[in-house]
Amino acid sequence: MTRFVLRTLAFLPLAFAVWYFAAPILLWPAVLIVRAAVYVGFADLVRAVEQSGAIATFVTTLGAGVAAGKGLVTVDVNLRAYSFGMPLFAALTLAARTAEWKRLLAVGYATLTPIVAFGVLADFLKDVAITAGPAIASQTGFVPWQRETIAFAFQFGSLILPAVAPAVLWVAMHLPFLTTLRDRNSVSV
């Protein structure tokens, strides 16, 4: 167990470095999912979702101000803020040293990407429906229960999912390893 923890801590900086510099590519599929979700569910609110590095920019249909009547609201969302669980999952997977680590990394990445997209979309919706203020929120047409749902989705998508999802996913994908780890420890203690 101790060795596994040390290996995880050793792999974490490497995983974080790869994730940080490769974020524009790694998180591109998450932006695609966000685009699809926006197209299906919020086409009246969003004109386009653009990606610049690790930032997703939502170009909305909302006016920037009643008096001005000009200019559209854009919302930037930091993609890394919702994907820091990816390097954690990678470090845990590499530290487990299973034979099928490449497949597990790929499956983990594919599973975590929609979760990142969820957090990014919830962040955008929270911005326009709640934190941007009444002048902009009133243009969204969201009713109170929808705002409450968005607030919950944002909190869950930012405080819980990015950290918990990789841990739960790793546990679910490494049951034989965990069993081995426990048996090994039981003998040595």
Partner 1 sequence: MRRFLVVFVVLLALAFAFELTPFAQAHFVTPWTDAVASASAGLMRTFDATITTHGNVIASSTSPFAVSIEAGCNGVEATLVLVAAILAFPAPWPHRLRGIVVGVVAVQVLNVVRVISLFYLGRYDRDVFEWAHLYVWQALIMLDVLIVWVVWVRFVPGNREASPPPLAAA
Q: Catalog residues that contact partner 1 under the rule CB under 8 A.
A: 1, 5, 8, 12, 16, 20, 78, 80-81, 84-85, 87-88, 92, 151-152, 155-156, 158-160, 162-164, 166-168, 170-172, 175-176, 178-179, 181-182, 185-186
Query: Closest separation between CB of residue 13 and partner 1, Å?
Result: 9
Q: What are phi and psi of 60, to 5 degrees?
A: -95, 175
Query: Closest separation between CB of residue 88 and partner 1, Å?
Result: 4
CA distance 129 to 141: 9
Query: Closest separation between CB of residue 135 and partner 1, Å?
Result: 26
For 81, 86, 97, 114, 189, the CA distances from 13, given in Å and listed in that order, are 17, 12, 17, 24, 30
Provide the strand spans (E) within the chain: 46-52, 55-63, 72-78
- Of 62 and 120, nearer to partner 1 (C-beta) is 120
The structure tokens listed for 20 are 């940080």
- Of 108 and 162, nearer to partner 1 (C-beta) is 162
